[in-house]
């Protein structure tokens, strides 16, 4: 019995999906002016309908609920897109004197991602080990281990002597 109920619910959802997708997607497209984004927003609104199916199925017009959710999402996306250029103008490029030497940057790029993150946070942002551990959600000893391995790898890549200086 329960399986047949799920099947009925699935059939009803499939019907709403097919019935709503094209018209809602068209409306969203007219708001965001991007076909792929419109389809993504429409799919997300229909997914929200599925997530809230117990409530939405009691509405007289569930398709109107989907349309309203999709329109709200589309308006938010359009607002973000409109604000993006102003925010990008506010972003300051990193001054060249703060960038690492190109050889060092290439050497850091070969590190494993976690080692790279630890090196950047420790050396360039001058953060203490306990703060790095908190940021990355690992223990202090894990941060120290990544630093040790990263220094060893960097020394090998750069052809320099390894210095062990985990100091905080």
- Check which CATH number belongs to the domain holding 147 and give it: 1.10.10.10
* Whether residues 79 and 105 fall in one domain: no
Q: Which of 45, 65, 90 is the last residue of a domain?
A: 90
The proportion of the chain whose per-residue pLDDT surpasses 70, expressed as a percent, equals 85
Question: What is the reported pLDDT for 54?
Answer: 76
Within 10 angstroms of residue 125's Cβ, the number of other Cβ atoms is 10
My answer on whether 8 and 79 are in the same domain is yes
Average pLDDT, stretch 119-126? 87
pLDDT of residue 3: 58
166 belongs to a structural domain: no
Please spell the DSSP secondary structure of 9-45, one letter per residue.
HHHHHHHHHHHHHHHHHHHHHHHH--HHHHHHHHHHH
d(CA 168, CA 151): 16
Looking at 60, 90, 120, which one is the last position of a domain?
90
Identify whether the C-beta of residue 51 lies closer than 8 Å to the C-beta of residue 13: no
Q: Which of 90, 109, 135 is the last residue of a domain?
A: 90
At 65 the pLDDT is: 83
Mean pLDDT of the 75-93 span? 81
For the chain, the average pLDDT equals 83
């Amino acid at each position: 019995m329960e399986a047949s109920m799920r099947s009925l619910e699935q059939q009803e959802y499939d019907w709403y999906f097919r019935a709503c997708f094209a018209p809602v997607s068209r409306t969203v497209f007219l708001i965001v002016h991007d076909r792929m984004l419109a389809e993504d927003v429409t799919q997300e609104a229909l997914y929200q309908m599925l997530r809230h199916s117990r409530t939405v199925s009691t509405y007289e017009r569930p398709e109107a609920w989907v349309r309203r959710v999709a329109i709200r999402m589309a308006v938010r996306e359009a607002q973000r897109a409109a604000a993006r250029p102003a925010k990008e103008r506010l972003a300051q490029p990193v001054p060249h004197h703060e960038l690492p030497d190109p050889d060092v940057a290439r050497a850091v790029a070969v590190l494993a991602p976690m080692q790279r993150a630890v090196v950047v946070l420790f050396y360039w942002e001058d953060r203490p080990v306990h703060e790095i551990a908190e940021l990355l959600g690992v223990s202090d000893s894990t941060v120290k281990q990544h630093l040790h391995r990263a220094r060893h790898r960097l020394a090998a890549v750069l052809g320099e002597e390894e210095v062990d200086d985990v100091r905080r």
